[in-house]
Amino acid sequence: MNIRLAEEKDINQLIKMRWDNTIEFDESKKDESYEGFERECQTFLENAIESSQWFIWVAEDKGRITSHIYIELVQKVPRPGRVTHPFAYMTNVYTIPEYRNGGVGSKVLNTINDWIKENKFEFVIVWPSDEAINYYKKNGYVYCTEPMEYFPS
């Protein structure tokens, strides 16, 4: 198992995994246009992979991506009297079904946790599904209440 940052060669697999992840948890989306989604997702991924804002971590087994976690860095406004470090927003955490419960996702997450420490990011924020809370807890994350939200009408 190789854990690494995603590359352009991974885009088609990442698109398909994003589609599969969405359909697995919301079957009503299966009637959406794959082609339209594919175009939008390809543009996003091309830009993300080339940016210094997004980091897409993957687990690869014999050329197949089996798990991924997306990290977006959020820059903070500098504050007098302390060095300002960005924080990380974690999203799109997914392991294909046949690789679940074998430690693959935890290996990717632990690699990211080490990377977060090495780069001195202030913290990581993730909104887990109810089913994923224990996954995060066993990997050092602390459950907290939801932040406040505003939805423009």
Give this prediction's pTM.
0.91
148/75 Cα distance (integer angstroms): 19
Q: What is the model's pLDDT at position 148?
A: 77
140/100 Cα distance (integer angstroms): 19
38/55 Cα distance (integer angstroms): 20
Q: What is the model's pLDDT at position 146?
A: 72
**Which domains are present in the chain?**
2-137 (3.40.630.30)
Tens of pLDDT along 70-124?
999 999 999 899 889 999 999 999 999 999 999 999 999 999 999 999 999 999 9
Token look-up 């589609």 returns 19
Q: What is the model's pLDDT at position 35?
A: 93
- Helix (H, G, I), strand (E, B), or coil: what is residue 113? helix
Q: Both ends of the chain: CA-CA distance in Å?
A: 46
Dihedral sign for Cα atoms in the order 129, 103, 137, 74: negative
Tens of pLDDT along 26-71?
888 888 889 999 999 999 999 999 999 999 999 999 999 999 999 9
